Amino acid sequence: MSEEKDWQDEKQRVDQVIHVIRNKMEQLKDKAGDLKEKVIDIRKDFWDDVTVNLDDPDDIIETQASLKQQAEFLSERERSHGHMSKQIDTLQRLEDSPYFGRIDFVEKGYDKPESIYIGIASLMDEQDDDFLIYDWRAPISNLYYDYPPGEAKYKTIDEEIEGEITLKRQFIIRNSVIKGMFDTGLTIGDHLLQSVLGNTADTKMKSIVATIQQEQNQIIRNEKSDLLIVQGVAGSGKTSAALQRVAYLLYRYREVLSSENIVLFSPNPLFNSYVAKVLPELGEENMKQTTLFQYLDTQIGNKLTVETPFAQMEYYLSEAGKNYAARVQAMSYKASLNFKQMIDDFGTSLEQDGVIFRNIRFRGDMFISKQQIKDYFYSLEETMSIPLRMEEVAKWLLTKLTELEREQREEDWVIEEMELLDKSDYLEVHNELQDETRFSEDTFDDHVREEDLLRKKVVADKIRPLKEKVKRKYFVDVKKTYIQLFTTLKPTEVDHLDLPEKWEEICKQTEKFISKNYLTWEDATPYLYFQKMLLGFNANRTIQHVFIDEAQDYSPFQFAYLKKIFPSSRMTLLGDINQAIYAHAIEEETLLSENIETKHERITLTRSYRSTKPIVEFTKAFMPNGHLIEPFNRDGAKPVLMEVENTAIANDKIETAITDFQTAGHQTIAVICKTMIESNVVYHRLKHKFDVRLMDEETHTFQQGILVIPAYLAKGIEFDAVIIHDASDQVYHKELEKNLFYTACTRAMHDLLMISLGEPSAFIKEVPREKYTHYKIHAIRKGQ
């Protein structure tokens, strides 16, 4: 068959499929329109169709039943309407680009191939007999992602089907028109990938459904592992694969899983909006998304201020302050499982003694003292866990409060308070009284009864907040109990736990911070863990899948905490050891370390798709194990290093570069700095010349244009061009700064420029000279 004939045949098929899509869409729109009218009618006539009769209890029951029936009828119609709207959305998406792939597969035992077309959703022909398009997540579609032409097999729910792929073809279809078509020998040919990756950066991440690579497909379709760990180099598609995996799981387990059952922990708030469009593009709803900070901060509540990880990072990078060395040791130690062990041991000792409680006062007077609560707590059965005993204490206190409530109704202060009640309170009591007396004739003591009710109300209003506090276990002084870990525990009791050298100083610092209601980031997880140890963990069982992106930044303690909170969830951790930027990663293992003890399956991604080949060749040259990183073959300019003599030249070069990048058509240009302080300075300088935005930890979205951003906030995101504001050795020198520098450089898709004020970073010097262009720019001196 000639290429021209193939092209014509495929073109014709696209037209036919589009015709079917449009027909279906018309029909559905008609149906949905009718249904909408019906829904409006039902809402309008709702009360006409309900028999309302409240005369006697039987009538009331009948009315309730009639109401319920009518409401169900309405919500069933509304549901169908919602379902139809969703189908119409999907058809609209298919109308634009119905499919992206085709395989011809001859099943063993048959002699003719069947053509399977693959798109973002399934589509049947008009008779509903045959599939015109298969959903990319259908079992048979796996052939497309996993095999080149030749022998192949796929698994359905109950069997394995073998056969041979005789053709594998990719399409680019846009606006219902076929724009390109390639037959491919490889898994998914470079052709399409080249064209996708060559595009300019978007402020929203795109789905990679048409070009998923075989190794990414292993992540997306993994069904066996409870703990899947993905170590992938920068730009290898970890986040993309994670989101595709969410879509896959939602399809595969659609009967039992919804987006509400999946949570993604992402590195920063900006990232949330960056990835927000991928799933809707695939016709799925977004999973829940949070950052670890948001999660811990909400759990800890507003009594304590929690330091953000970014503030911790700024402190770490500042290298300033007289307690700096101790604080850095604290960051590492409090991330460790040794520290968790210390808390666990402390928890065990608290079973005997040591929990600190709070007094409960009523109207300024002591009602139950902390000592009484403590005595009650420690009088309870020792075999009961601490949280169970706390439940018992709460019950006991609630009974006591109920007794108090009864007694207090007779007190004089109640009369005084009654006078302060406003009209609505009286009305409420009056209505209550009316309800009570509705069916009785006997109303002579109404006045007395009204006073009773008012007294009851006054006291109840006073006691209610106390009861609420008791229910929330406010009677436990978690903070003071926690501080004891740093004040009363003798180092000799815990020295088997590899105490850091500056432990005593750490203890003093911690006590000082927490007494001022300030929790450093390194204390946030341990504190919350401890709090739950006293008050109960309330495991979250609605979440069935937890995804952790940038997992290298999670400490072993944080991971252990998340496991405890989500005990029955499957976990997918994605990260890159080379991008570990938090202080604890220097000494503590990260989650991605080879020797993590928990049972897991590990997938390694070594191919980098984001940046051009010259950028990847440059960045891999200064990283340990960099030889394992494989660039995707996309051409571009070599990274440029400009070593300049003074700030004036540096500024001038940055400004020229921005203008040049704009002229070259780059839409997003990021000036990446090491810290927020540096970013602020650069922003204030540039804002007079360009329309530029400063990104900080509060930034939740970003637009195309020129951005100034600290490296740690640029995690997970990409830009057309990156300018490293100062790549000098003074700025990027320490071990962890290497990772920060690597993270910054690998954000660039097409162009990377490094300005160095003076001596360039030693990391750059590790790179062979031919991998980048080096300019030295001197100031023009008098007489030159």
Ligand X SMILES: Nc1ncnc2c1ncn2[C@@H]1O[C@H](COP(=O)(O)OP(=O)(O)OP(=O)(O)O)[C@@H](O)[C@H]1O
Binding site for ligand X (CB under 6 A): 193, 196-197, 206, 208, 211-213, 216, 232, 234-240, 576, 609-610, 716, 718, 746
Q: Give me the least distance between CB of 612 and ligand X, in Å please.
A: 12
Q: Which one, 251 or 274, has the nearer CB to ligand X?
A: 274
Q: Which one, 238 or 389, has the nearer CB to ligand X?
A: 238
Distance CA 568, CA 254 (A): 19
Task: List Cα–Cα distances, 654 to 524, 637, 675, in angstroms.
Answer: 39, 17, 18
Which helix (H) or strand (E) segment holds residue 424: the answer is helix 423-437
Q: Which residue is nearest to ligand X (CB)?
A: 237
Q: Using an 8 Å Cβ cutoff, are 697 and 749 in contact?
A: no
Location of structure tokens 């209890």: 57
Instruction: State the maximum Cα–Cα separation within the chain, in Å, rounded to a whole number.
Output: 114
Q: Using an 8 Å Cβ cutoff, are 565 and 540 in contact?
A: yes
Q: Which one, 354 or 626, has the nearer CB to ligand X?
A: 626
Map residue 602 onto helix, strand or coil: strand
Distance CA 74, CA 83 (A): 14
Q: Give me the least distance between CB of 204 and ligand X, in Å please.
A: 11
Q: Which one, 232 or 283, has the nearer CB to ligand X?
A: 232
Location of structure tokens 């009284």: 433
Could you tell me which residues are beta bridge partners of residue 164? 106, 151
Q: Give me the least distance between CB of 703 and ligand X, in Å please.
A: 18
Q: Which one, 216 or 555, has the nearer CB to ligand X?
A: 216
Distance CA 412, CA 29 (A): 70
Residue 234 among known ligand-binding residues: yes
DSSP state of 211: G
Q: Using an 8 Å Cβ cutoff, are 557 and 529 in contact?
A: yes
**Would you put residue 536 in left (φ > 0), alpha (ψ -120 to 50) or beta?**
left
Residue 241, classified by CB atoms within 10 Å of its CB into exposed (0-12), middle (13-18) or buried (19+), is buried
**Would you put residue 620 in left (φ > 0), alpha (ψ -120 to 50) or beta?**
alpha
Residue 236 among known ligand-binding residues: yes
Q: Give me the least distance between CB of 627 and ligand X, in Å please.
A: 18
Q: Give me the least distance between CB of 87 and ligand X, in Å please.
A: 27
Residue 238 among known ligand-binding residues: yes
Q: Which one, 189 or 705, has the nearer CB to ligand X?
A: 189
Q: Give me the least distance between CB of 201 and ligand X, in Å please.
A: 8
Location of structure tokens 């195309």: 704
* Of 342, 336, 322, 354, residue with least CA distance to 505: 322
Q: Give me the least distance between CB of 574 and ligand X, in Å please.
A: 7
Contact residues for 129 (Cβ-Cβ < 8 A; gap 6+) = none
Q: Which one, 551 or 686, has the nearer CB to ligand X?
A: 551
Q: Using an 8 Å Cβ cutoff, are 185 and 150 in contact?
A: no
Q: Using an 8 Å Cβ cutoff, are 350 and 344 in contact?
A: no
Residue 12, classified by CB atoms within 10 Å of its CB into exposed (0-12), middle (13-18) or buried (19+), is exposed
Q: Give me the least distance between CB of 136 and ligand X, in Å please.
A: 12
Q: Which one, 576 or 697, has the nearer CB to ligand X?
A: 576
Residue 636 among known ligand-binding residues: no
Q: Give me the least distance between CB of 126 and ligand X, in Å please.
A: 33
Q: Which one, 310 or 377, has the nearer CB to ligand X?
A: 310
What residues are designated binding site? 232-239
What residues are designated binding site for ATP? 232-239
